Amino acid sequence: MQIRSEQLDNDYSIQIFENISSIDTNKWNSINQAIPFYQTHQFLSSIESIQKDIQFRYVLVLKREEIIAALYVQLLGFSFKNLVNYTTESSDGIKSSFKKYIAQKNTQLLNLGNVFFTGDKGVICNNEALIIPFIPIIFKQIHKSFETKKPSAFLIANIYLQDEDKCIDFCNSAFHPFNTEPDMFMSLDKNWKSFTDYMNALSSKYRVRAKKVLSVSDEIIQREFSLEEIVEQKINMQHLYDNVMNHVAFNMAVLNIDFFEQMKLLYGDNCSVFGYYKNEELVSFACLFHVDATTLHVHYIGLNYDINREFKLYNRMLLDFVKFAIEKEKSRIHFGRTATEIKTTIGAEPIPLYAYLKMSNRLVNASLPYFLKRIKPAEYVARNPFK
């Protein structure tokens, strides 16, 4: 239901909803004719139904009664341990004590967009430059819509470099910028009609490496799961997914394992979940979306790290993703964050991402720059594997 409406200025107003089901599906999806699948009413509705530990808000922006934009936020528990773990700088004395103190603090974080999809900044419109300056004001109004567990931290993430100029007003509203791990994309040559064409495009050094990966991992068998197999393998997938979550330095939220079943139900053949087996044991999996006409989205994976070390399993999976994208005649692959350098070895390129954070406590907010300027995502060397 609609829980709040506010006038932003003489021309613009907003309506705030607690559930996306309170907004007409066609009305939401038609705000932008080029809406990506992960911003559609159907996708967000599935996320809302799966993630019971998160509160949601959906905002319609109106200009003189006409809907011109939509935004969505998620309220989740967040530990400052994530920020402390993400800093690489060592410290001692007072600084060390302060870091330990901060690491013990938890907060209710209001995140713009969907934390379960890299690159989604939670804004749907035809002119972002018109809407983005309103975000700090909209956050204030969303904050008022929570009666209990009010947010005390506010995050605007997934801002690409080319959008940074649009966000200059965030700093004037006491938001602090920081770097995050880059998003990874790979462009596919239109002349690649097969995986062999891709291999031939690699330089000698990287072609030898790719062949070695395929040889070392030869006994690893890939299978595409049916809906029934996803349900059957849920416990094993949970274990493999947890392995990955335990290896990342910065973890915003934990995905409910029912996600994969729900996505297969929603998208059918346009969502592929692949399992990787060694001697009939599931040792990894990956979820791939090929809903968009041009882009293959590699969404979530699970991994047995012992098998990975011995059999170059993750490298093999990356090559399989390239092969799959070529077969589906996609023009690019969206790999998301993490494992930046490894992804560049198969042809992916890093796209810088920025985020803005604000705390409602003025003293804590004033201390944020100390941590944020020390946030340094893992260093990497960008490789170019092509001739």
- Residue ranges per structural domain of the chain: 2-181+352-372, 189-330
Q: What is the pLDDT of residues 47-78, one digit of tens each?
A: 999 999 999 999 999 999 899 999 999 999 98
Confidence of residue 89 (pLDDT cuts 50, 70, 90): low
C-alpha–C-alpha distance, residues 299 and 288, integer Å: 6
Confidence of residue 96 (pLDDT cuts 50, 70, 90): low
Diameter of the chain by CA atoms?
67
Which range has the top average pLDDT, 100-104, 161-165, 177-181? 177-181
More confident residue, 338 or 140: 140
CATH architecture type of domain 189-330: 3-Layer(aba) Sandwich (3.40)
- Whether 94 shows a pLDDT value over 60: the answer reads no
Angle of helix 234-245 relative to helix 258-267, nearest 10 degrees, comes to: 110
Model pTM score: 0.92
Task: Transcribe 197-262 into DSSP letters.
Answer: HHHHHB-HHHHHHHHHHHHHTTT-EEEEPPHHHHHHTHHHHHHHHHHHHTT-S----PPPTHHHHH
Q: What is the pLDDT of residue 274?
A: 98
Q: What is the pLDDT of residue 129?
A: 84
- Whether 42 shows a pLDDT value over 90: the answer reads yes
Average pLDDT on 260-264 reads: 98
Q: What is the pLDDT of residue 95?
A: 55
Average pLDDT on 344-356 reads: 93
Least confident of 89-93, 155-159, 302-306: 89-93
- Whether 288 shows a pLDDT value over 70: the answer reads yes
Domains 2-181+352-372 and 189-330 belong to one CATH topology: yes
Residue with tokens 């094993």: 236
C-alpha–C-alpha distance, residues 226 and 223, integer Å: 9
C-alpha–C-alpha distance, residues 326 and 192, integer Å: 7
More confident residue, 338 or 384: 384
Least confident of 97-106, 322-331, 346-355: 97-106
Helix, strand, coil tally for the chain in percent (to 5): 40, 30, 30
Q: What is the mean pLDDT of the chain?
A: 91
Residue with tokens 């989740």: 76
Average pLDDT on 364-380 reads: 83
Q: Which CATH number fits the domain 2-181+352-372, given the four candidates 1.10.1040.10, 3.40.630.30, 2.60.40.1250, 3.40.50.300?
A: 3.40.630.30
Residue 351 neighbours by CB distance under 10 Å: 14
